[in-house]
Structure 1
Amino acid sequence: MSEKNKVQEFFKLGEFGNYFTRVFQKPDPNKPSNFNLRMMHGINKISIVMFLIAIIVWIIKRVI
């Protein structure tokens, strides 16, 4: 296996990782949706954004 393939395999997101990019896309109008599902995705968006902000603040504190 070449070095490039090893790096690609290491950073492969998979189904769980792809959710983080899918959650910020517009919903598919052909799929059924209800209030509970929309709220769940909304809370997940807030959680992901807060987590990323916390990681950035933590990294800045460690560097400075």
Structure 2
Amino acid sequence: MRTKGLFNFGPVFGYFFRKKDPNRHTNFNLRTMHTINKISMLMFLAGLIFMLFKFVILR
């Protein structure tokens, strides 16, 4: 695997900023699941940024 493939964040941004599909069936449970997934990904990225900051800056 090439290192260029490791830093491909296109699918992540596509998950956060995709358009609503009018043909897709949605309900409360599905929307809640996707909201929780987005929150967990944001918390993971925030923790990763914090750890990088702590490792690089506060060395």
Q: TM-score, normalised by structure 2?
A: 0.71
What stretches of structure 1 move > 6 A for 4+ residues in a row? none
Does residue 1:11 correspond to 2:5, yes or no?
yes
Percent identity (aligned): 46
Does residue 1:42 correspond to 2:35, yes or no?
yes
Question: How many angstroms does 1:7 deviate by?
Answer: 2.5
Question: How many angstroms does 1:26 deviate by?
Answer: 2.9
CA–CA distance in structure 2, aligned partners of residues 39 and 23 of structure 1: 15
Question: How many angstroms does 1:30 deviate by?
Answer: 0.7
Question: How many angstroms does 1:29 deviate by?
Answer: 1.4
Q: RMSD over aligned Cα, in angstroms?
A: 2.5
SS at match of 1:55: helix
Unaligned runs of 5+ in 2: none
Give the partner amino acid of 1:11: G
Give the partner amino acid of 2:21: D
Normalized per residue, which structure has more helix? 1
Question: Matched residue pairs, number?
Answer: 54
Q: TM-score, normalised by structure 1?
A: 0.66
Unaligned runs of 5+ in 1: 1-5
